[in-house]
Amino acid sequence: MWEYTDTVRDHFLNPRNAGTMDDADAVGEVGSLACGDALKLFLKIDDAGVITDAKFQTFGCASAIASSSVLTEMLKGKTLAEAKKISNKDIAKALGGLPKEKMHCSVMGQEALDAALKNFAGEAAVAHEPEGELVCKCFGVTDVQIRRAIRENGLTTLEEVTDFTKAGGGCGDCHERIGQILAEELSGAAAAPKAPGDGAPKPLTNLERMRLVTKVIDEEIRPALKNDGGDLELVDIDGRQVIVSLRGACVGCPASKLTLADFVEKRLRETVDPEITVKEAR
């Protein structure tokens, strides 16, 4: 179990400013349900450039909700210039600290704030299509996000990169690439050129599809759900229909339908077959 401060517990159990804002002047959205954490930040900004109100919607763990809540409190009354200076370290500090394994929640708050400020400035939204090379497929983390976390927080180890970005916290296939990025950043070298992919994918046989579904569920989806106390069991695979049973904290969770549709089914469509459907066993 994580050791949370009283401030984290207070903001998790009594979140401030949760909800939407129909007349928001700026909206920043980061993360995704596929990553296990997502944050949408709404800002109301007056003519003098002062943030007069802030609200949030968060899907994630206690640290994600607490980080979002305290961020909205920090933003009220600040000018845009002052808001732009808020870092993930400031968010964590306002909560009295976060477990190192949960520092990525403060990073998500900073990224949502950056996205909202860019939205207010009229810059193109990039929330759903993060730029850069996708390094960690389990949590959808790019090299751009990893390099930024390394530079801004002085990270030197793979474990620290995982704590701050979640990259490498799933199947582990990306550990070697994260190590390369760490080496490049710590040595100041430019990023290594990527090898272009080529060749169209071959259609999967039924056996290949079943094996790949099982692999993605065991190595990516279940570890992501377990991070927040949930889990699922693969019950059956009938053609392109995958039948699962929810376990742990997912049972009875108000967001369970969203989890199945926007996380489990979406991830299987991305990694296995775009026509896959996921159904909960009854």
Annotated binding site: 35, 61, 105, 136, 138, 171, 174
Q: Is 181 exposed, middle or buried (0-12, 13-18, 19+ CB in 10 A)?
A: buried
Locate 221 and state its tokens. 């989806």
Active site residue 105: yes
Kindly compute the dihedral angle of the four CA atoms of residues 83, 87, 91, 97, in this order, to the nearest 10 degrees: -160
Q: Which of 21, 26, 33, 35 is catalytic?
A: 35
Q: Give the residue numbers of the binding site for Fe cation.
A: 35, 61, 105
Give the DSSP per-residue string, 125-143: P-TTS--S-EEETTTTEEH
CA distance 70 to 78: 14
Q: Which residues sit opposite 27 in a β-bridge?
A: 42
* Three-state DSSP state, 26: strand
Q: Give the residue numbers of the binding site for [2Fe-2S] cluster.
A: 136, 138, 171, 174
Q: Which of 105, 150, 244, 264 is catalytic?
A: 105
CA distance 233 to 168: 23
Active site residue 250: no
Catalytic positions: 35, 105
